[in-house]
Amino acid sequence: MDLTRRHFTLAATAAMAADQAVFGQSAKLTAQQVIERIQKQLAAATPPVEWKTPTRDVFKAGDPETPVTGIATTVMSTLSILQRAAKAGKNLVITHEPTFWSDSDSTQELASDAVYQHKAEFIQKNNMVIWRFHDHWHARKPDAMLVGLAQVLGWNNPADDSQRLYNIKPTTLGAMVKDLESRLKFRAMRVIGDPDTKISKGAINVGSTSLQVVLKLMPEADVFIAGEPREWEGPEYLQDAVAMGQKKAMIIIGHQNSEDPGMRLCADWLKTFISEVPIEWLPTSEPFRR
């Protein structure tokens, strides 16, 4: 009788342990589940963000069913960022911009390219998953990419609800540039305008900056801080405005610099509804030197 009871107890204990092991495996958060939570949070936002397709916001590499060991957010999933993420144990990388150097991340023409092969092999070897978060992150109100840039600039007095126009402490263009260089350590800012131009209202735009955005905001601002405008669009317009005598200015800080802070806010946001794995913002390094 005692032997039978002992066997029953051992068998029951083993069964419970097996059930717990199975539950533990099934309870692991997958990359797909992370994205589903993001979509749910966006739908519950105020105002709600409707998930639209087609979209840039899709998996770019890896298996969506991969269990997540950690999440890294970044503005651009460069190889150095992927290396840092892997070293930190973060195998899900949420990137704002492309991974394989084009907006669509098309790799059809890259099969024999040595850089592509190395990057793709690194992703596979380290069991990584890359998901792009662009369209719907910008769609959330207020746009965290604009908010993030304003924060690092030290601008905290919006002139309207757009998060693009700000009242700032009166200064000159030259003094503003020196301040930004000192505080932000940007190595390769480019500036259009007279250093003595008086500044009291500024406009910002992150990432790609179209002529239409410049035309809309520039009449209301003394200086426009832009991410990456085409040189023959907004910058040429500013050159012509200055040449005709307008007291206007533009500071071009680069695509990555302008949107990097917004992905820090993305990591902070993810932490409010994902607790199973560590989450970290990985800032990119400025690619240019002078």
* Number of Cβ within a 10 Å radius of residue 15: 10
In terms of Cβ atoms closer than 10 Å to its own Cβ (0-12, 13-18, 19+), residue 256 is buried
Position 5 confidence tier, pLDDT thresholds 50, 70, 90: low
Instruction: Give the mean pLDDT of 8-22.
Output: 47
Q: What is the spatial distance between Cα 194 and Cα 172, in angstroms, rounded to a whole number?
A: 9
pLDDT beyond 50 at 169: yes
**Average pLDDT over every residue of 214-234:** 97
**239 Cβ neighbours under 8 A, 6+ residues apart:** 192
Q: Name the band, by pLDDT with cuts 50, 70 and 90, for residue 289.
A: confident
What is Dmax (Cα atoms) for the chain?
103
The confidence score (pLDDT) of residue 73 equals 98
For residue 21, what pLDDT is reported?
Answer: 42
Domain residue extents for the chain: 31-141, 144-255
pLDDT digits (tens, 9 = 90+) for 108-152: 999 999 999 999 999 999 999 999 999 999 999 999 999 999 999
Query: Taking 90 as the threshold, does the pLDDT of residue 6 lie above it?
Result: no
User: pTM here?
Assistant: 0.89
pLDDT at 285: 86
**Residue 4: its pLDDT value, please?**
52
Q: What is the CATH number of domain 31-141?
A: 3.40.1390.30
Contact between residue 186 and residue 178 where contact means Cβ atoms under 8 Å apart: no
pLDDT of residue 197: 98
What CATH topology corresponds to 144-255?
3.40.1390
Strand 198-209, strand 223-229: pairing: parallel
Higher-pLDDT residue of 259, 6: 259
Instruction: Supply φ then ψ for residue 192, to 5 degrees.
Output: -120, 130
Mean pLDDT of 37-52: 98
| pLDDT at residue 26 is higher than 50 | no
Query: pLDDT digits over 57-108, tens only?
Result: 999 999 999 999 999 999 999 999 999 999 999 999 999 999 999 999 999 9
User: Alpha helix locations (H) across 126-233?
Assistant: 135-139, 144-153, 173-184, 211-217
pLDDT at residue 7 in the model? 54
Q: CATH topology of 31-141 equal to that of 144-255?
A: yes
